[in-house]
Amino acid sequence: MGTTSSYISLKLAEWQSNLTRTSLTNEDREELTAHLEDMITELTELGLSEEEVWSVAAKRIGSISAIEAEFEKVNPDIPFRKNGLLMIYGAVIMLFLQSLFVVVPAFLFRVYHQQGARAVPSNDNIWPVAFNILTLSLIGIILAFTFKGRSLAKTISKLAFKLNILTAFISAAVVIVSGFFIIQLISLGELDTLHTTAPKFKTLTQIFYFGLIGLIGYFLLIGNNQPIRTLSVFNRKINWKTSLLLGGVACLAIIFSYTYAISYLPLFIGCPLFAALGWMISFSEKKGINLFCAQLPLILFCISELSGRYAHMFGKYYLITLCFLLTGALYQRTRNYLINLLGVSS
């Protein structure tokens, strides 16, 4: 390959780079590369132009995805290894985020207060601010993954590949550090004597776990081959399971918001969510069943609260959110009806 032109060298390097992203072993890659180089040498000796040489050689060796698929047939263990690796990376990223946003801040808060009890009284004002900043950062990350999830996942996977064996060390470090901090976290609530920090910490953890629930729901939908490329396609394909899942998420948002001492917050959060859900379901095929499933988590929650002190209030909340769900469901039909009516009359 000493006489290979810079064009072919470049193409070959690009091809090799793509090959390294597959599940093929080093030996498989080396053998395929040697094969391609032999072919290029032979085609070059035939007097073909550089472009022709590369075009013919690349066509003959076949597409990388086809080669990988053939190797996977021979070694059925490959998909399992790939999925296992993805699972491990997912768990490590999860642990890292949990440590960064929940466990380490809580641990530092604890250490800070323990030191403060022994020496000078501590300045508690910085903790609510710190938790607010973390909450905003978390919202930022959630938004970034919502809008740029695909490219971010690609970048992370590239980075993991580049770091290679270092990734394993980083993963182990994350697991060990996360485990250490979790063990240290005992009786955090007792330290917040003024009750200024706990609500901020609560918001942070709720957004963290709410984001996580959203992520699980999203990947479950992808796993079930639900078409979610666009909202309108997704709306048309909503079934009872999706409705139940979305209703559950909206119900959780209401439950979370109820833990704040802000009047009518569950309604401010729940009504728009259920109205949007109703609007989405109005495009689906089995609207009745889907609407029933969407409100099911909320009514189950209300039933579980029937014997409690707030049964009356939850009953009202349920009825109001149900109205919004139905309003959302009827919105599109009413709008079309009015447009037709006005169009005809004009």
Partner 1 sequence: MLSKELTAASSVSIILCTLIGGESYGYEIIKKVKDASQGRILYSDGTLYPVLRKLEDKELILSEWRIAENQKRRRYYTITAKGIMQLKQEKLSWEFMNGLLNILWAPLPLTSV
Q: Which stretch binds partner 1 (CB under 8 A): 24-32, 45-53, 284-292, 315-323?
A: 24-32
Nearer to partner 1, 32 or 106 (CB): 32
Q: Which of residues 254-313 bind partner 1 (CB under 8 A)?
A: none
- Least separation in angstroms between residue 67's CB and partner 1 is 4
User: Is residue 238 a contact residue for partner 1 (CB under 8 A)?
Assistant: no
Type of residue found at 3 = T
Rounded Cα distance between 212 and 273, Å, is 18
Size of the site for partner 1 (CB under 8 A): 21
Phi and psi, residue 222, nearest 5° = -65, -45
Q: What are the DSSP calls for 74-108, one per residue?
A: H-THHHHHHHHHHHHHHHHHHHHHHIIIIIHHHHH
Q: Which of 50, 71, 199, 218 binds partner 1 (CB under 8 A)?
A: 71
- Least separation in angstroms between residue 133's CB and partner 1 is 52
Residue for token pair 């641990």: 107
User: Is residue 70 a contact residue for partner 1 (CB under 8 A)?
Assistant: yes
Phi and psi, residue 286, nearest 5° = -100, 80
- Least separation in angstroms between residue 10's CB and partner 1 is 20
Rounded Cα distance between 2 and 4, Å, is 6
Alpha helices in the chain (DSSP H): 6-20, 26-45, 50-61, 64-74, 77-98, 104-118, 126-163, 165-184, 197-223, 231-236, 240-258, 265-281, 287-304, 311-345
- Least separation in angstroms between residue 5's CB and partner 1 is 18
Q: Which of residues 25-44 bind partner 1 (CB under 8 A)?
A: 27-28, 30-32, 34-35, 37-39
Q: Which stretch binds partner 1 (CB under 8 A): 71-79, 101-109, 166-174, 327-335?
A: 71-79
- Least separation in angstroms between residue 29's CB and partner 1 is 10
- Least separation in angstroms between residue 18's CB and partner 1 is 12
Rounded Cα distance between 102 and 267, Å, is 27
The binding track of 40-69 with respect to partner 1, each residue x by CB under 8 A or -, is --------------------xxx-x-xx--
Nearer to partner 1, 33 or 226 (CB): 33
- Least separation in angstroms between residue 12's CB and partner 1 is 14
Taking residue 222's Cβ as centre, other Cβ atoms within 10 Å add up to 11
Nearer to partner 1, 71 or 234 (CB): 71
- Least separation in angstroms between residue 27's CB and partner 1 is 7
With a CB cutoff of 8 Å and minimum separation 6, the contacts of 174 are: 92, 95, 96, 99
Nearer to partner 1, 32 or 294 (CB): 32
Q: Which stretch binds partner 1 (CB under 8 A): 45-53, 72-80, 222-230, 263-271?
A: 72-80
Nearer to partner 1, 73 or 195 (CB): 73
Helices and strands (H and E) in the chain: how many: 14, 0
Rounded Cα distance between 117 and 115, Å, is 5
- Least separation in angstroms between residue 55's CB and partner 1 is 14
User: Is residue 74 a contact residue for partner 1 (CB under 8 A)?
Assistant: yes
The set of long-range contacts for 202-206, using a CB threshold of 8 Å and a minimum separation of 24, is 202/259, 203/131, 203/135, 203/260, 204/101, 204/102, 204/105, 204/131, 204/134, 204/135, 204/138, 205/101, 205/102, 206/256, 206/259
The residues binding partner 1 (CB under 8 A) are 27-28, 30-32, 34-35, 37-39, 60-62, 64, 66-67, 70-71, 73-75
